[in-house]
Structure 1
Amino acid sequence: MPEVVHQVLADPILVGLILFAVFVNAGALGLEWERRREAMGDAEPRTRSQSE
Structure 2
Amino acid sequence: MPEVVHQVLADPILVGMILLAIFVNAGALGLKWERGREAMDDAEPRTRSQSE
For normalisation by structure 1, the TM-score amounts to 0.79
**Which 4+ residue blocks in structure 1 deviate beyond 4 angstroms?**
none
Who is 1:34 aligned against? 34
- CA distance in structure 2 between the aligned counterparts of 1:24 and 1:41, rounded to whole angstroms: 26
Structure 1: tracts of 5 or more residues without a match: 43-52
Aligned length: 42
Secondary structure of 2:5's counterpart equals helix
RMSD: 1.1
Q: Higher helix share goes to which structure? A: 2
For normalisation by structure 2, the TM-score amounts to 0.79
Which protein is bigger by CA-based radius of gyration? Answer: 2
